[in-house]
Amino acid sequence: MAVIFHKMVMAGVGLICGSLALDMRRRKLVGEIIGYGRSEGNLRLAKKQGIIDSYFLREEQMPEDVDFLIMGTPVQTIVPLTAAFLPRLRAGCVISDVGSVKAEIVRGMHGLLPKDIPFVGGHPIAGSEQWGAKAARTGLFVRHRTILTPTKKTDDAALKKVATLWRKVGARVELMDPEIHDRVLGVISHLPHVLVYALVNALDRIEVSGVDLKSYCAGGFKDFTRIASSRPELWRDICLMNHRALGQTLADYIHSLEQIRGWIQDGKGACLEKEFARANEIREQIA
C-alpha cells in the first residue's frame, strides 16, 4: 500500500492511537511515527512495542517537518495542546483527533488554525475500558465505524486523506455533523458510562445489614459494569464538554426511572412487563 503520511506525531499513545499506529505501520501507510505524552514510561513501552519510532515530552520539541498530527489526549486538552504545537507546524500539516466529543473541538480548531493547516474531526467507535500503550492491538478498527465530522470550513483534500487512512485500517467511514455526533454519542456512549459509574459507587453507599455488597457481584453485574474501569479523567472531560446533550439525555433517563419506580411501588406488573418486553425487542434490533 502507498504511504499516506511521511512523518506523523501522535499526541497521546493509548489504546486508540496506539492501535492506529500499529495498523498504519503494518500496512505501510506511514513513514515515521513520533509519540508525545505525559508519561515517559508509557512512551518507552510504546517504543519497545514498535508502536512509535521515537518520542518527545515537551511541546517545543515538536519536529518541524510533520505532515500529520493526530490528537488522542483527553478531549478538553486537544485544542490548547494543538495551540502549543502550532508554532512548529508547517503549512499543509493535516491535523485530526479521535475524541468522543466533536462540536466544541471542531469549533475550537477552526478558530485556532490558519487556512493552510487543515483539521478533520474524527471519532473511531471502537475500543475498551483499557488504556495506555499496553492496550494497543492490531485490527481494532476492522468493521467498526469511524465518524468524521467535516464542516463547510474543512479542506476536501485533507478530508479525503483522513478518510482513506481509516478505510485502509478496516474502518467503515461515516460523515456526520459535529452537533449530531455529540447527541448520538451522548445517548449510546456517554450516558451508559455515567450510569455505570453511579451504579458501581452505589455498592459503597448502600448498606444492607453490614453485608459487603461487592463480594456478591456475579458475572452479570461484572459484565454490565465493565466500563467503570475506564479512565476517570477522560470521562470527566467528556461529560463536561458534552454537558448539553448529556444533560438532556440524563433528564430523559431519570424520568424513565421515576416512571418505573412508580410502577413498582404501585404494583403495576402489566406496565413493568410491557416496558421490559419493549426493551427485549429493541435489544434484538441492535447489531
pLDDT of residue 218: 83
pLDDT single digits (tens) 131-189: 778 888 989 999 999 999 999 999 999 999 999 999 999 999 999 999 999 999 999 99
Distance CA 127, CA 167 (A): 17
What are the sequence ranges of the domains in the chain? 5-176, 180-284
CB burial of 170-208 (b: ≥16 within 10 Å; e: otherwise) equals bbebeebebeebbbbbbeebbbebbbbbeebeeeeeeee
Nearest partner of 153 among 100, 104, 116, judged by Cα:
116
- Average pLDDT of the chain is 92
pLDDT of residue 1: 59
Q: Which CATH code, of 3.40.50.10490, 3.30.70.120, 1.10.3660.10, 3.40.140.10, is assigned to 180-284?
A: 1.10.3660.10
Q: What is the average per-residue pLDDT within 122-134?
A: 81
Residue 287 has pLDDT above 80, yes or no: no
Lowest mean pLDDT among 5-19, 147-161, 174-188, 217-231: 217-231
Name the DSSP letter for residue 100: S
pLDDT of residue 225: 87
Find the largest Cα–Cα distance for the chain: 69
Q: Which CATH code, of 3.40.50.300, 3.40.50.720, 3.20.20.70, 1.10.3720.10, is assigned to 5-176?
A: 3.40.50.720
Q: What is the average per-residue pLDDT within 117-122?
A: 97
Residue bearing the bigger pLDDT, 283 or 215 = 283
pLDDT of residue 228: 87
pLDDT of residue 78: 96
First to last CA, the chain: 31
pLDDT single digits (tens) 242-275: 999 999 999 999 999 999 999 999 999 999 999 9
pLDDT band at 14 (very low <50, low <70, confident <90, very high): confident
pLDDT of residue 246: 95
Residue 129 has pLDDT above 80, yes or no: no
Q: What is the average per-residue pLDDT within 88-116?
A: 96
pLDDT of residue 286: 86
pLDDT band at 44 (very low <50, low <70, confident <90, very high): very high
